Amino acid sequence: MKKILLTGLAKTNFKAIELLKSHYCQYIDFPLQKMQVCQNIKLPKSSFDWVTFTSSAAVNLAPQKIFKLSKNFAVVGPSTAAELSTKGYTPSITPKDNYSAEGLIEVFKVFKDPLKILYPASKIAQGSLEKGLTELGHEVIRVNIYQPEEVSVNKLPDFTDAAFFSPSGVDLFFKNFGKFSLENKKAVAIGKSTATAFEKHFGYMPHLPKESTVAGVVQTLL
C-alpha cells in the first residue's frame, strides 16, 4: 500500500487528504512550515493597474484592502487562481504552461505601455518577478505580507511517496533529512518552481502533474 507523505501547509495537506480518502492508500499529514503574517504591513494608498500573486498563501494571507487596489489580477498558476476565486475574484492573467515567475513575466510582455503593478509576496521570495517586470519598463511595488516559519519535526515517518507544494517546503525537507532521504521513493512537485528547488538539492527532477494543483499532485501520486 502506498504511504503518501504530505509536506505542504496544513490547509494544502487538508485538500490533498480530502482527495485521497476515497483511494486505497495511507496519507501522512507532515507539514514542515506554517505561514505568519508580517507585522506592520504598510500598504500603498494609490491604485494599481495590476496585482500579481505567485502563491496560494499570498492570496490567502493578503489583507482585504489589497483586493481593492486594482480590478486586474495576475496569478502564477491554477492553484493560486483557485484560491483567488475563494475571495470572489477571477484572474485576468494566468500563464498557459510555465507556472512560475518567468511565466508571468512572459505574459506581461504583451503590454507595451508602462504599468503600475503591486506584488504581495513572501518575505523570502526571490526578486526574479519584480526584476523581470521592471526590465520590461513596468513600475513594481513589492509588499512583503507573510513569511514561513519552520515547524519542529522529530523523525521522518515511514513512507513510499512524497508530495511537495512549495520551494521552501523542499528546502526544509532537505535541511532536516538530507539528500538520501528520498532514495527509492516517488517524489511529486506541484509546479516548476518547486521542481527546480528539488532538483537543486536532490540532483534529479521529481514527477510533475499535468496541472499544477493539489488535485493534479494527487493524481500523479496515485
Instruction: Give the residue-averaged pLDDT of 135-156.
Output: 92
- Kind of pairing, strands 161-164 and 50-53? unpaired
Q: Mean per-residue pLDDT for 62-88? A: 93
- Looking at residue 124, its pLDDT comes to 86
Query: Nearest Cα to 164, choosing from 112, 109, 206?
Result: 206
Fold held by 36-147 = Rossmann fold (3.40.50)
Locate the domains of the chain by residue range. Answer: 3-32+151-221, 36-147
According to the model, what pLDDT value does residue 125 have? 84
pLDDT digits (tens, 9 = 90+) for 192-210: 889 999 999 999 999 999 8
Task: Give the pLDDT of residue 48.
Answer: 97
7 close to 164: Cβ distance less than 8 angstroms: yes
Beta strands in 11-71 (DSSP E): 26-29, 33-37, 50-53
Q: Are the C-beta atoms of 118 and 70 separated by less than 8 Å? A: yes
Spell out a b/e string for 201-215, using b for 16 or more CB atoms within 10 Å of the CB, else e: ebeeebebbebbbbb
Is 90 exceeded by the pLDDT of residue 28?
Answer: yes
Nearest-angstrom CA–CA distance, 69 and 89: 13
Sequence-ordered strand ranges (E) for 38-157: 50-53, 73-75, 116-122, 139-150
Please state which of the four CATH numbers 3.30.70.1050, 3.60.20.10, 3.40.50.10090, 3.20.80.10 is assigned to the domain occupying 3-32+151-221: 3.40.50.10090
Q: Which residues contact 141 (CB under 8 A, 6 or more apart)?
A: 44, 48, 116, 117, 118, 119
Compute the distance between CA of residue 14 and CA of residue 19 in angstroms, rounded to an integer.
9
User: Do 3-32+151-221 and 36-147 share a fold?
Assistant: yes
Mean pLDDT of 138-163: 93
Distances (CA, A) of 109 to 78, 87, 179: 20, 27, 38
